[in-house]
Amino acid sequence: MTTSPAGTAASDSFTHRVLPYDGPGQLLAGAVPFLLDGVDVGDRVLAVCRPDRESLLRDALGPAAESIEFTDAATWYGHPSRTLADCLSDADDTAWRGRRLRVLGDPVWARRSRLEVVEWQRVEAVLNVAFRGTGAALLCPYEASLPAGVVAAARRTHPETVRGARAVPNPGFVDPWAYSAQCDAEPLPRPPAGADTLKLERPDLFWLRAYVTDYARSTPLPEDDLQRLLVAVTEVVTNAWRHGEPPIVLRMWTDAPDGVPALVCEVSDGGRWASGSGYGLIPPRPGGPASGGRFGLWAVRLLCSIVQIRTGDGGSVVRLRLALPEPGAKG
């Protein structure tokens, strides 16, 4: 086996393909050649899948399965921004070592809450920008039994579709930034009438943190998550003071869309963000500037369960959501 010198990728061509399938036979027909090709050329090969899919793949791969890293998909797909960052870091590190990262990723997130699904779909889109130059190869198998909207979206976030042993251009592919903008096209629901509301008239971060802490401790939010929330709110409010316009308003409440309870913290201001800022969707690369100059927003996305941003002529809103323990759940 030969590899490229350290510091270069085994292949400079990044690929991101969707594998639509209906039944185990079609899954194996697309996934097994993808994995075996990686083993043959000396790639670092990861199979991110459910336990039943792992057994199916191991049986089909035979001895080659020992050269593949199997990872439980439920753990891998724990948080959209964190998974993106970890996988991108793995791709960069593998390329530096002269190999290619090859990942089969089973989208187990597709049956989660609507808000979480939207964020995972956005990740599928923007990774087409984030992974450029890494040489990584990503294959995402989407089962026909998934919700129709999820399968349709997969054709818009992957440049190519695998059909048998071939990869063909996907005519439904949408520019990643255009797709992300579509994710934000739906207006946010209005805050409930009973939301705690604080108009911020001066940049006093001490009292801001005290206010957020008092409200958060009236909910079952774990202490570690409270500390994350305080860092995230500080960053968002600081951004509003530096780049936004009055009035700057903080609102807090709890809700449970799709039955998933969450603490919501919203910061609104009267300004409009410039287009092309990136909204902190892509991790800053080593030695490079933060995406759109907003390193803080990338950190905010890492700290919160979901971050929703809307901006327009009527002002800007950053809505932070942190998941709350399910009623009766043990800490």
Which one-letter DSSP state was computed for residue 108?
G
Complete edge-to-edge strand list for the sheet that includes strand 196-200: 196-200, 248-255, 262-269, 315-323, 306-312
State residue 150 phi and psi, 5-degree precision: -70, -45
In terms of domains, do 20 and 166 share one?
Answer: yes
Q: Which CATH number do you get for residue 266? A: 3.30.565.10
The confidence score (pLDDT) of residue 277 equals: 67
| Domain-embedded: residue 7 | no
pLDDT (tens digit, 9 = 90+) per residue, 59-69? 999 999 999 99
DSSP string, 200-235: E-S--HHHHHHHHHHHHTTTT--HHHHHHHHHHHHH
Judge whether 10 lies within some domain.
no
Structural domain contains residue 8? no
Residues 6+ apart with CB under 8 A from 139: 17, 18, 19, 30, 31, 34, 102, 103, 104, 105, 162
Contact 135/4 with Cβ under 8 angstroms? no
Q: Which of 181-185, 254-258, 275-279 has the lowest mean pLDDT?
A: 275-279
Q: Which of 9-13, 21-25, 152-156, 273-277 has the lowest mean pLDDT?
A: 9-13
Examine the domain organization and report whether 203 and 152 are in the same domain.
no
Distance CA 43, CA 147 (A): 33
Residue 318 pLDDT grade (very low, low, confident, very high; cuts 50, 70, 90) = very high
- For residue 3, is it within any domain? no
Q: What is the pLDDT of residue 278?
A: 79
12 pLDDT more than 60: no
Mean pLDDT of 97-123: 96
Provide mean pLDDT across the span 314-324: 96
As for how many domains the chain has, the answer is 2
The answer to whether 262 and 305 have CB atoms below 8 angstroms apart is yes
Domain end call among 183, 206, 224: 183
- Tell me which residue range forms the domain holding 127: 15-183
Domain boundary among 128, 153, 183: 183
Is 138 part of any domain? yes
CATH number at residue 60: 3.40.50
pLDDT number for residue 23:
95
Own/partner pairs, 58-66, CB within 8 angstroms, 24+ separation: 60/28, 60/32, 61/32, 61/35, 61/36, 64/35, 64/36, 64/39
Domain annotation covers residue 88: yes
The answer to whether 150 touches 110, Cβ cutoff 8 Å, is: yes
Query: Is the pLDDT assigned to residue 155 strictly greater than 50?
Result: yes
- Name the band, by pLDDT with cuts 50, 70 and 90, for residue 274: confident
In this predicted structure, what is the pLDDT of residue 143?
A: 97
User: SS3 string of 159-179?
Assistant: CEEEECCEEEECCCCCCHHHH
pTM equals 0.91
For the segment 258-262, the average pLDDT, to the nearest whole number, is: 92
Residues 218, 269: one domain?
yes
Q: Give me the pLDDT at residue 257, please.
A: 87
Q: Of 183, 218, 246, which residue sits at a domain end?
A: 183
Contact 44, 152 (CB under 8 A): no
Return the closest-CA partner of residue 156 out of 175, 135, 173, 132.
173
- Is 292 or 56 the better-scoring residue by pLDDT? 56
Lowest mean pLDDT among 107-116, 131-140, 162-171, 208-217: 162-171
Q: What is the pLDDT of residue 256?
A: 94
Q: Are residues 191 and 58 in the same domain?
A: no
Q: Are residues 203 and 315 in the same domain?
A: yes
- In tens, the pLDDT along 290-312 reads 444 344 899 999 999 999 999 98
Q: Does residue 6 carry a pLDDT above 50?
A: no
Angle at 288 between CA 283 and CA 293, to 5 degrees: 65
Q: Is pLDDT at 287 greater than 70 in this prediction?
A: no
pLDDT of residue 276: 66
- Using one digit for the tens of pLDDT, what is the confidence trace for 162-215? 987 789 999 999 999 999 999 999 999 999 999 999 999 888 899 999 999 999
Of residues 133 and 7, more confidence is placed in 133
Asked if residue 102 and residue 39 are part of one domain, the reply reads yes
Query: Model confidence at 220, in pLDDT bands (50, 70, 90)?
Result: very high
Please tell me whether residues 170 and 48 are part of one structural domain.
Answer: yes
Domain-embedded: residue 158: yes
Structure tokens at 31: 């996934």
- Residues 133 and 192 both lie in one domain: no
DSSP class per residue in 56-85: HHHHHHGGGGGGSEEEEHHHHTS-HHHHHH
List Cα–Cα distances, 226 to 127, 203, 213, 268, 322, in angstroms. 29, 21, 7, 20, 9
Whether the bond into 257 is cis, omega within 30 of 0: no
What is the rounded CA–CA span in Å between residue 260 and residue 237? 26
Q: Which two tokens stand for residue 175?
A: 């520019």
φ, ψ of residue 286 in degrees (nearest 5) = -55, 130
Check whether residue 32 and residue 165 sit in a common domain.
yes
Same domain for 221 and 274, yes or no, is yes
- Do 128 and 246 lie in one domain? The reply is no
- Is 149 a member of any domain? yes
Domain match, 70 and 44 both: yes
Q: What's residue 284's pLDDT?
A: 82
For the chain, the helix, strand and coil percentages under 3-state DSSP, each to the nearest 5: 45, 20, 35
Q: Which whole number is the average pLDDT over 79-98?
A: 96
